[in-house]
Amino acid sequence: MGQATQAPGSRTDPGVAGPGPAAGPASRVTLALRWLRLVAGVVPFGIYVTLGLLLPMIAVAVGAFQNNDGGFTFSNVSAATHGIYLKGFWQSIILSLLTSVIPGILGLLIAYAIFTAKRGKVLRQVAITAAGVFANFGGVPLAFLFIATLGSSGLVSQWLTSLGFNPYDHGFTLYSLTGVVVVYLYFQIPLMVLVILPALEGLRPAWREAAENLGARTWEYWRYVGGPVLLPSFLGCVLLLFGSALSAYATTEALTNGTIPLTAIQIGSFLNGNVIAGQENIGKALGLGMVVIIAIAMIVYVVMQRRAARWLR
């Protein structure tokens, strides 16, 4: 590349050369080089997306409409949108909404508390590190941890029982959707803290002081300035949590042994091979369903984001 920029006729750096009255062939070389430079930056990511996302998605989408002999059929999609599978979708969506919006708000509040802890720089660093650990703690160990504490004979449950309040007598069970929501909060809240903190740190103290100087009370600052400025990032973070919840699998599987119909677990059982012969491709139809849900979530996000961040364009 370094030598190519010294090409005859291109007296200036091709990056800055304008479309001036340079000789025809030389400027074409310059243009080609500039184009190459532009494209070169996105090539690795492009390859990654193609291999890791695009091709699998096409394979899933095609498979969803194929019977075992490779012929075209609607039966997989039809099966995936009825009965236990339809219920799985709904449960997954509800679970993901609950475990993205609730941790989204709680995580924002916690992040704000960390952000304003001016005095405790050490405390702050500890909190951020802890959030990093908790956000990545999942799967079977996490399920086990909860069974050992909030399970029917877990430590906390027994302690509460000894205080005269057995949660399992009051409709709570860890092995239900409510239980799964509680477990998800465990890693979703710290995840939210981690991803929203940089946005909070982007709020300039001068905005706060300017607002106050102009007569705004604290809530008015958040209503008119802090909130609107944070909203685009907040929406992005909640979308991230939504995706994380939708695809979380190991924790739930370990906790409920597949007793709760959730799409991710249903797809898992297809992958494990314990399916009735001739229905293998229903798994692909379910996968396609997940893609559609994420796509809808993305569209909702983009629309809200465009409204929230009008001032950025």
Partner 1 sequence: MTTNTTRDAATTAAGTGPVRAGGGTSVLLRDLTRAFGVTRALDGLSIEMAPGELVALLGPSGCGKTTALRIVAGFEIADTGSVLVDGKDISSVPAARRDMGMVFQSYSLFPNMSAQDNVAFGLRMRKIGTGGRRKRAGDLLDMVGLGPQAGQYPHQLSGGQQQRVALARALAIEPRVLLLDEPLSALDAKVRLQLREQIRTLQQRLGTTTLFVTHDQEEALSIADRVGVMSNGKLEQLAAPDELYTSPASAFVAEFVGVMNRVPGELRGGGMVTALGSTMPVRGHIPDETPVDVLVRPEDLTMQVVEHGNGIVTTRTFLGSVTRVGVQLDGDVAVQVDRPSAESAALAPGASVSVSLPGQPVLVATRRVS
* Max CA pair span of the chain: 90
How far are the Cα atoms of 156, 204, 225, 311 from residue 121, in angstroms, in the given order? 32, 19, 26, 33
Measured from the CB atom, the residue of 29 and 199 that comes closer to partner 1 is 199
303, 262, 267, 271: which is closest to 288 by C-alpha?
267
Closer of 13 and 209 to partner 1 (Cβ): 209
Among 39, 209, 269, 271, binds partner 1 (CB under 8 A): 209
Nearer to partner 1, 220 or 280 (CB): 220
Using the rule CB under 8 A, is 121 a contact of partner 1?
no
Does residue 1 bind partner 1 (CB under 8 A)?
no
- Return the number of other C-beta atoms located less than 10 Å from residue 235's C-beta: 19
Give the contacts of 200 (CB within 8 A, at least 6 positions apart): 108, 111, 112, 115, 230
Q: Which of 35, 74, 165, 207 binds partner 1 (CB under 8 A)?
A: 207
Residues within window 214-253 making contact with partner 1, judged by CB under 8 A: 214-217, 220, 224-225, 228-229
Name which of residues 46 to 85 contact partner 1 (CB under 8 A).
none
Closest approach of partner 1 to the CB of residue 227, in Å: 9
Is position 206 an interface residue for partner 1 (rule: CB under 8 A)? yes
Query: How near is the Cβ of 229 to partner 1 at its closest, in Å?
Result: 5
CB contact at 8 A, 265 and 281: no
Measured distance CA(90)–CA(131) in Å, rounded:
30
Query: Considering Cα of 2, then 7, then 9, then 14, what sign does the dihedral take?
Result: negative
Chain residues binding partner 1 by CB under 8 A are 204, 206-207, 209-217, 220, 224-225, 228-229, 311-312
